[in-house]
Amino acid sequence: MSKLGLSQDKINQARQEAKIVADHTQAFIDKHTTDSVERTIVRLLGVDGINEFDIPIPNLVVDFLKHHHDPSIGIAQMLAYYIKKHNTTLDDIVAKITKETLPPQTIEPLSKEEVKKQLFPYYEKQMKAIVAQRATRDKFKQMHKLDRPMLYVIVATGNIYEDVTQAKAAAKQGADVIAVIRTTGQSLLDYVPYGPTTEGFGGTYATQENFRIMRKALDEVSIQEQRYIHLVNYASGLCMPEIAAMGAIERLDMMLNDSLYGILFRDINMERTFIDQYFSRVISAYASITINTGEDNYLTTSDALQEAHTVLASQFINEQFALRAKMPPHLMGLGHAFEIDPTIEDGFLYEYAQALMAREIFPEAPLKYMPPTKHMTGDIFKGYAQNTLFNIITSTTNQSIHLLGMLTEAVHTPFMSDRYLAIENAKMINQTMKHFGDEITFKKDGKIQSRAQNVLHDAHKLIKDINKDGLFDSLSKGVFAGIKRTKDGGKGRLGVYQKDPSYANPIIDDMLDSLKEVN
């Protein structure tokens, strides 16, 4: 029974409407590919590195071949043809492309079976590496099973080695999840930087080497603390699936991966984003990486009291996109946030209703609950009080991924002492209020029940409207966060291609074949 008196019929109807929205969009996704999808295929074939001008080799390969050939047939078709035609290896073809010594030829498309035959020895290595990392994670997580929300903190120095120092300190203080914030603007780069980096603004570059460095450091702490420390980064922006592949290979545990965030908040073309998120989620499902969606960001631009239904509507849609990538619910870290103005009467009750509603509607999802940010000020004492209220709701509504609020949220990048205080606050609340949520019920048709029921009703209505107009047109009307985007606008639009009938991507086919159907 729902403590909030939510109608299961209404939930089912909203879910069905979201399914139709996702199905219509998926029909478009299935017919198209992007530069970043094609570069991801190259990376999963084992191609990496940079040339003498620091240009990533996956970019060189895709740019060279799409310049000389029709990109609609896909990079797998092109590489397989050259390997077979020249009776050589992938390494040889890539080296010749890099040195600009490969003479372009007219490609006669191979059968999809032949494409797989030519490329399987290369991508099999990467898939086996991902499966091995999945097994290593499972082994680590047997050390200690948490019976409370995972405490999630961020590091954002710009220097991966300084990030390691701060991450280790936070983990030893009690953090379960370390998120390495990405440097400002990286989501708009149409390539992935290479190697370790020590200079970033507002965060650290997401590179495969940086992932490897941080993973090694957190494994060391995990062994010392006998508690697995999860690593997070961002599979978003113009290189969304590439970063998902890198994270899968280096055993990241969570990836910020939303189907709408890049469109709304980074003005990335919506066609490009929807195509990219699909491949990135298939990779994450295959690697057992938990995704974190970005609905919390809606409430940093819109009023949290008036626009809460947009968060729920987006959660329903994100869920359906993830299901189409064969991602099970236990990997869907759907996002929401504690962002109601703290001066509003009974705001705590409305926040409680919103959080418990998400938990009741998505019972298997590892919900990611975000702390107050919009209404934080330089008053650190008020901020600490706001975070305490947030921690109470997190604990008593059984949220899964608890991103800790900092008392200096509105002042500067947190000091290690700020993280320590945040962790201690959360640990105290989790202990002293451990079973409080189990003990309480709510007044029938009272403020909490009414709030949740109204939000569900409005979310259902919004999804029906989106279904009627289509997701592309709905986004152009600004249905989420009041931000309007056009189907043909945004960054990355020129990197979208309709697939030729001969198009092949054996990697995604094999990943999907290995994943179970989910509903």
Q: How far apart are CA 126 and CA 119, in angstroms?
A: 12
Instruction: Let me know if residue 95 belongs to a domain.
Output: yes
Residue 512, pLDDT above cutoff 90? yes
Confidence band (pLDDT; 50, 70, 90) for 169?
very high
Which of these, 395, 335, 351, lies nearest to 146 by C-alpha position?
Answer: 395
Query: Are 25 and 62 part of one and the same domain?
Result: no
Residues 97 and 10 in one domain: no
Residues 450 and 349 in one domain: yes
For residue 10, being part of any structural domain is answered with yes
Residues 126-141 pLDDT 10s: 999 999 999 999 999 9
Could you tell me the two tokens for 487?
A: 């189907």
Task: Verify that 1 and 48 share a domain, yes or no.
Answer: no
338-393 confidence digits (pLDDT tens): 999 999 999 999 999 999 999 999 999 999 999 999 999 989 999 999 999 999 99
The pLDDT of residue 409 is 81
479 close to 254: Cβ distance less than 8 angstroms: no
Residue 12 confidence (pLDDT) above 70? yes
Residue-number span of the structural domain to which 316 is assigned: 1-29+293-370+444-477
Could you tell me the pTM of the whole model?
A: 0.96
Q: Give the active site residues.
A: 261, 296, 368
As a whole-number percent, the residues of the chain with pLDDT over 90 amount to: 92
Domain contains 328: yes
Determine contact, residues 504/74, Cβ cutoff 8 Å.
Answer: yes
pLDDT score recorded for residue 519: 59
User: Taking Cα atoms as reference points, which of 344, 316, 243 lies closest to residue 284?
Assistant: 243
Q: CA-CA distance, 152 to 138, in Å (whole number)? A: 19
Please, which residues have CB within 8 angstroms of residue 93's CB and are 6 or more apart in sequence?
Answer: 79, 82, 83, 86, 102
Grouping H, G, I as helix, E, B as strand and the rest as coil, residue 215 is helix
Check whether 237 has a pLDDT greater than 90.
Answer: yes
Give pLDDT, residue 415.
79
- Residue 144: the pLDDT is 80
DSSP state for residue 33 in the 8-state scheme: E
- Express as a percent the part of the chain with pLDDT over 70: 100
User: So what's the pLDDT on residue 371?
Assistant: 96
Alpha-carbon torsion angle 54, 491, 74, 118, nearest 10: 40
> Does one domain contain both 12 and 43?
no
Q: Is the pLDDT of residue 518 over 80?
A: no
Whether residues 351 and 464 share a domain: the answer is: yes
Alpha helices by DSSP H, listed for 142-266, are 160-173, 208-225, 240-249, 261-266
The answer on pLDDT for 177 being more than 70 is yes
* 120 and 77 in a common domain: yes
Task: Let me know whether 97 and 21 are in one domain.
Answer: no
* In a domain? residue 484: no
Average per-residue pLDDT in the chain? 95
* pLDDT of 280 over the 70 cut: yes
Q: Are 70 and 114 found together in one domain? A: yes
User: Is residue 63 a part of any domain in this protein?
Assistant: yes
**Residue among 247, 114, 235 nearest 186 (CA):** 235
pLDDT higher than 80, residue 412: no
- Closest by Cα among 393, 254, 410 to 337: 393
Tokens for 428, please give them.
């105290």
Of 63, 94, 124, the position where a domain reaches its end is 124
pLDDT digits (tens, 9 = 90+) for 80-118: 999 999 999 999 999 999 999 999 889 999 999 999 999
Q: Is the pLDDT of residue 228 over 80?
A: yes
* 76: in domain: yes
340-343 own/partner pairs: CB under 8 Å, 24+ apart: 340/304, 340/305, 341/303, 341/304, 341/305, 341/375, 342/372, 342/375, 342/382, 342/386, 342/389
Instruction: Name the domain count of the chain.
Output: 2
**Mean pLDDT computed over 317-322:** 97
The answer as to whether 485 is a domain residue is no
Considering the domain architecture, whether residues 22 and 73 belong to the same structural domain is answered as no
For residues 147 and 385, the model is more confident at 385
Domain boundary at 105, 124, 143, which?
A: 124
Across the range 313-318, mean pLDDT stands at: 97
Verify that 462 and 353 share a domain, yes or no: yes
Q: What average pLDDT score do residues 272-300 get?
A: 96
